[in-house]
Amino acid sequence: MDKLLALTTLLEVADAGGFSKAAQRLGVATSSVTRLMDSLEASLGTALLTRTPRKVSLTDAGIAYVEQVSKVLDDLAEADESVFDSGASPVGSLRIAVPSTYSRLQLAPHLAAFMSDNPRVFLDVVVADHFADLALERIDVAIRIGLPDRDANLIVRKLADNPRCVVASHDYLERSGTPQTPQALEAHECVRFAYGGGHRTRQVWTFRAEAAEERVEVRGHLLSNNLDMLLEAVMAGRGIALLPEWQVAAEIRAGRLMRLFESFDASPQNGDAVVYAAYLPNRRHSSKVRALVQFLEARLKISLEG
């Protein structure tokens, strides 16, 4: 019995729910699938499948076995791909994790160009705002906004700066007044990004001008880890926000938002975040990872300068 073929066939049977459908997918006779499953069960000394006239399903032992087999076959496929991917030409599946707002505004406009430059790479883009476990979720590259030292066990490469600015709508400023100094924000409604941790009614924003630094405690009724939600609230006149320049630049140019304190560099309390790529040490020789990182370094810098 070809054990690798038997394991691959078992996964097809489990997914298809029957021998005939699995055989069609594999392009073999149904009798061949049946004999192979009988041989596999005999070699293990246990039943993996429950056979009925209408359906074939996994036993409890089969469920546990398939879960382990799936991991083994995934690891084998990854090992095979790594051999091909260590060459000069990027090839294979590339799984990317990226925050939702950044993916829409900064990554998505460049993906077509990357795919054109790397026709043998198959992209799998996971859009999520959670801090993905690269090993558990099989992520090749995570594009993150924050402090790179948070990923001390990963290889990190800075892709771009992440300048932020304080913005408000004209409607809000007409109703509540325009703060003339950062300290005046203490008397205003501020919509704030949730930089980790639990719910906080207060947050500290840091303002720098030349050598001076000013820390201002702000508060408000809206806290969210979604930048799009914060921007919508600001556009609706619900308060003042500290948002990435790449997110609000178009709104400022169009006159829909006003930028405050232009002579200051502003950041949240957790420091000067940047946009960076993070990947596992075992991906350091991957040509597809290297190609993506180099591509984004060039493209994101141009995008920010533009």
What does the pLDDT read at residue 73? 82
What does the pLDDT read at residue 74? 76
The amino acid at residue 306 is: G
38-72 pLDDT, tens digit per residue, is 999 999 999 999 998 888 999 999 999 999 888 88
What does the pLDDT read at residue 235? 97
Could you check whether 92-162+273-305 and 164-268 share the same CATH topology? Answer: yes
CATH number for region 164-268: 3.40.190.290
CA distance 154 to 278: 6
Tokens 């320049």 map to which residue? 245
**Rounded to two decimals, what is the model's pTM?**
0.70
What does the pLDDT read at residue 91? 87
Q: Are 270 and 204 in contact (CB under 8 A)?
A: no
What does the pLDDT read at residue 105? 94
Q: Which residues of the chain have pLDDT under 70?
A: 78-88, 196-201, 269-271, 302-306
Assign domain 3-78 to a CATH class.
Answer: mainly alpha
CA distance 3 to 7: 6
CA distance 18 to 244: 52
Domain chopping of the chain, boundaries? 3-78, 92-162+273-305, 164-268
What does the pLDDT read at residue 54? 81
What does the pLDDT read at residue 52? 87
CATH architecture of the domain 92-162+273-305 equals 3-Layer(aba) Sandwich (3.40)
